[in-house]
Amino acid sequence: MKVKLLSRNPDDYVRETKLDIQRVPRNYDPSLHPFEVSREYTRALNATKLERVFAKPFLASLDGHRDGVNCLAKHTTNLSTLLSGSCDGEVKVWNLTKRECVRTLQAHEGFVRGMVVRHCGTSFFTVGDDKTIKQWKIEAPAYGEEEEPLNTILGKTVFTGLDHHRKEGVFATCGQQVDVWDEQRSSPIRSFTWGVDSFSAVRFNPVETELLASCASDRSIVLYDMREPAPLKKVIMTMRSNTVCWNPMEAYYFTCSNEDYNLYTYDMRHLEKPITVHMDHVSAVLDLDYSPTGKEFVSASFDKTIRIFPKDGGHSREVYHTKRMQHVICIKWSADNKYILSGSDEMNIRLWKANAAEKLGVLAPRERQAANYSQKLKEKYQHHPQIKRIANHRHLPKIIYHQTREQRVMKEARRKKERNVRKHSRPGTVPVVSEKEKHVVTVVK
């Protein structure tokens, strides 16, 4: 009698190298794996909880300035270099990997108002309260050499902001007027004025590199084209905008941070009303920067918090704060989309993770897959109340928490009043004005 034996092909179960994972034969018959929704729900819930457990965004604090940090600049070609200028005219160059100051130079007397690194990454420009524009080398001077700028331009008025063209040797400053300079000349190649006396910020469009936007003190945002002799258009809002930032991936969108606690994203072709109003701050928003992917931006506020907004979301997805962080004056999103840098009043620069719960460093493939899967699960079940509750829970400082509540109450009261007024007046006399339209006064052509 012959005995039948089970015979298996070793190819089916022997792995090629011991680094491979064991092959697990699977049966995908749905009847064998019931309750998929509830099981995945549990997984999603756990993933959300774990995300909150691991959300530790604060990485480091860079101290060394002797006055409030007034401006930051990213290096264009080097991720680990950061420049910061303080209110006492000092500029520091930082090495982020070592978390230490590499170089310190006294750039100006009074504030360093603006700072920008040239596109090639070999030099940077600073403007200060002493009415000068200075160009510096990135490299520290050799031993025995004096620390002095490559170029100095003496202006007639104080400069309050500075930005560099992305590709050409052209930069723009703002102060009494918006000037466009050629690096080779000591007088501006263009000078834009439009009936206002001071500007607070100017930014080049990184995509359509000839376009500029600036915030003026008459509560307006003005658009320019470097090639045209006159400005393009301006929109006047109810309150003053502090800074403006273009989306680096979408040519015609820009966002401005406003004194009225909100941020507004505009389509530059339709300035009549903003595309999105981003609300959550409880004090004036001082600065913002887009993530290099153009999907999100981060804002720094006078209320001592940093918030991250999705570019088309009305509310922030994240809020960062620490006990010691005072009014955040300037903020930058690092060029690799991983970190956020904030400079604040109390002389410190802080390094944050852009994604609070993300694991830093290289992920193993399986680790990455697991992270992706849990991310998808969270997305899928984000509308479920428990998950939503956990995912949206943030601890806030007491003041901000109460102020937020107060804001909400005020807003509700205003809405209620408006509703009542509408109810008690002739139909049509009190029109419904959407939140977006409320904040724009006019568009001046």
- Contact call for residue 77 and another protein (CB under 8 A): yes
- Contact call for residue 230 and another protein (CB under 8 A): yes
Rounded to whole angstroms, how far apart are CA atoms 123 and 135? 7
- Contact call for residue 274 and another protein (CB under 8 A): no
Shortest Cβ 317–another protein spacing (Å): 14
- Contact call for residue 15 and another protein (CB under 8 A): no
Among 13, 54, 373, 401, binds another protein (CB under 8 A): 373
- Contact call for residue 384 and another protein (CB under 8 A): yes
Please name the residues in contact with 9: beta carbons below 8 A apart, sequence gap of 6 or more: none
Among 49, 99, 131, 295, binds another protein (CB under 8 A): 295
Among 375, 392, 420, 442, binds another protein (CB under 8 A): 375
- Contact call for residue 308 and another protein (CB under 8 A): no
Among 232, 239, 396, 440, binds another protein (CB under 8 A): 232
- Contact call for residue 432 and another protein (CB under 8 A): no
Q: Which residues pair with 319 in a beta bridge?
A: 307
Shortest Cβ 28–another protein spacing (Å): 7
Helix (H) or strand (E) holding 366: helix 365-380
Among 182, 252, 422, 436, binds another protein (CB under 8 A): 252
Among 127, 138, 285, 377, binds another protein (CB under 8 A): 377
Shortest Cβ 335–another protein spacing (Å): 4
Please name the residues in contact with 116: beta carbons below 8 A apart, sequence gap of 6 or more: 73, 124, 125, 162, 163, 164, 171
Q: Are 274 and 264 in contact (CB under 8 A)?
A: yes
- Contact call for residue 268 and another protein (CB under 8 A): yes
Nearer to another protein, 277 or 329 (CB): 277
Please name the residues in contact with 321: beta carbons below 8 A apart, sequence gap of 6 or more: 304, 305, 306, 396, 397, 400
Q: Which of residues 17-56 bind another protein (CB under 8 A)?
A: 26, 28, 30, 33, 36-37, 39-41, 43
Helix (H) or strand (E) holding 137: strand 132-137
Tokens at 116, concatenated: 């920008």
Q: In this chain, which stretch among 125-133, 153-161, 330-338, 402-410 interacts with another protein, using CB under 8 A?
A: 330-338
Binding footprint of another protein, residue count (CB under 8 A): 58
Rounded to whole angstroms, how far apart are CA atoms 352 and 277? 25
- Residue 196, burial from CB neighbour count under 10 angstroms (0-12, 13-18, 19+): middle
Rounded to whole angstroms, how far apart are CA atoms 185 and 418? 56
Residues 190-219: x where in contact with another protein by CB under 8 A, - otherwise, as a string: ----------------xxx--x--------
Q: Tally Cβ neighbours within 10 Å of residue 73.
A: 23
Nearer to another protein, 26 or 424 (CB): 26
Nearer to another protein, 88 or 225 (CB): 225
Q: What is the DSSP code (8-state) at residue 237?
A: E
- Contact call for residue 317 and another protein (CB under 8 A): no
Q: Which residue's structure tokens are 């009415």?
A: 131
Q: What is the torsional sign of CA 64, 70, 73, 79?
A: positive
Q: Are 68 and 300 in contact (CB under 8 A)?
A: no
**Residues in the chain, how many?**
445
Rounded to whole angstroms, how far apart are CA atoms 383 and 240? 36
Residues at the contact surface with another protein, assessed by CB under 8 A: 1-2, 4, 26, 28, 30, 33, 36-37, 39-41, 43, 76-77, 79, 166, 206-208, 211, 223, 225, 228-233, 248-252, 268-269, 292-295, 335-338, 362, 369, 372-373, 375-377, 380-381, 383-386, 445
